[in-house]
Structure 1
Amino acid sequence: MTTTDYVIAAVLVLLVVPQIRGTRLTLRNLILPVVLVAAAAAYYLKSVPTQGHDVLLDVVCVAVGALLGIGCGLATRFVRDSGGFLVAKAGFVAAVLWIVGMASRTGFEYAATHSGAHAIADFSRSNSITGSDAWTAALLLMALAQVIARLVTVRLRGRVHDARPAALARA
């Protein structure tokens, strides 16, 4: 892993900090995480292989990412700030799920370039995964699925919370 790889991984993991502190449901907070993951994808993604079981690997990684994202979104609570704006605050479980998703991909990349390379190559051969480009695509799709699933879940829950009568919102 290069220094750039570590910096990108750290930025993606640190996206949890504003989630914990709480963020208003603004357009900026909707777009920024998607832009950061898309930028990482543009940096790393050279192709999306579709031979062997590469598509199955993509589907499994997207499903895992989506489940982590939905879990993050469901473990987020809503409060109103002093101006009456709805603020989403990730709880402990949401933060852990976010970090697990981001750190697992970084850990996989570290293993693939260090002591785990042989085991990953053996697994890839025996499961008809065509190589590192397939893994890169699958893991980036997993990250994108996690980010989008969390954003959609939080936004949908925020709309429901925002639509509740004020007396129920305070309860």
Structure 2
Amino acid sequence: MTTTQWITDIALLLVVFRQLRESRLDLKSFLLPLGIVSFVVHQYLNSVPTGGNDLVLVGLLIAVGAALGIAGGIYTRVRAVGEHVLIKAGVVSAVLWVLGMGSRMTFQLWSEHGGADDIARFSVAHSITSDQAWVAAFVLMALTEVVTRLGTIYLRSRMVQAPAQPVRVPAPVS
């Protein structure tokens, strides 16, 4: 792995630790993880192969990313204090984040340090046509995890901010 890959992978892992202490939900809460994952997408996603079962692999890992992201967003505490929304990632949210982001880094390390032959055999047996399919699948999984987690947190923040509207019962007409 290159130095840039190490830095971006570690930065993605550490983003959630910033949220282990309660802080205000603001634009920076969204821009930091989106910026890091956008850099990763720009650097490593050249194409999405469509041959063989490449799209199945990509779809499966996107689904895993969505599940991790939604669950991570659900297990992030979101509460309103005055006019501000505060968020705090719980232990489950942090574990899910590290699982998702760490799996990409672990796969990359494994593929470079002894796992390449196993990955090649698996790919041939399951009609995955190139290593770019694996790259696309893991990068899109990370992107999906970030977007769905942030989307879930955003939706939850809107629900805690919405003031309860009093129910108006029409007066009887006499």
Flag whether TM exceeds 0.5 (same fold): yes
Find the counterpart in structure 2 of residue 169 from structure 1.
Answer: none
User: Which blocks of at least 5 consecutive residues in structure 2 are unaligned?
Assistant: 165-174
Poorly superposed stretches of 4+, deviation over 6 Å: none
Output the amino acid matched with 1:61.
L
Quote the offset at 1:133 in angstroms: 0.6
Q: Partners in 2 of 1:153 and 1:61 — Cα distance?
A: 19
Could you report, residue by residue, the CA deviation over 1:82-136 in whole angstroms, capped at 9, with x for unpaired residues? x641111110000000000011110000111111111101001111111211100
Q: Aligned-pair distance for 1:164?
A: 5.0
Question: Are positions 1:30 and 2:30 aligned together?
Answer: yes
Which aligned pairs between 1:13-162 and structure 2 lie closer than 5 A? 13-80=13-80, 84-162=83-161
CA distance in 1 between partners of 2:39 and 2:15 (Å): 14
Give 2:6's aligned residue: 6
CA distance in 2, matches of 1:151, 1:90: 12
TM-superposed CA distance for 1:19, in Å, is: 1.7
CA shift for structure 1 position 21: 1.8
Q: Distance in 2 between matches of 1:118 and 1:22?
A: 44
Confirm or deny: 8 A CA contact 1:23 1:29 kept in the other structure.
Answer: no
Q: Shift of the alpha carbon at 1:23?
A: 3.4
3-state SS of the aligned residue for 2:51?
coil
Structure 1 contact 80–87 (Cα < 8 Å) conserved: yes
Do the aligned residues in 1 keep the contact of 2:78 with 2:153 (CA within 8 Å)? Answer: no
Amino acid at match of 1:79: R
Name stretches of at least 5 consecutive residues in structure 1 with no aligned partner: 166-171
Amino acid paired to 2:126: N
The SS at the match of 1:89 is strand
* Greater radius of gyration (CA): 2
Cα displacement string for residues 63-90 of structure 1 (whole angstroms, at most 9, x for unaligned residues): 0000000110010112345x64111111
What one-letter code is carried by the residue in structure 1 that aligns with 2:61? C
CA RMSD of aligned residues (A): 1.4
Q: Residue 20 of structure 2 contacts residue 89 of structure 2 at CA under 8 Å; is this kept in 1?
A: yes
Q: CA deviation at 1:163?
A: 1.8
What TM-score do you get using the length of structure 2 for normalisation?
0.89
One-letter code of the match for 1:159?
R
Letter in 2 for 1:110: L
The farther-off stretch of 38-47 and 135-144 is 38-47
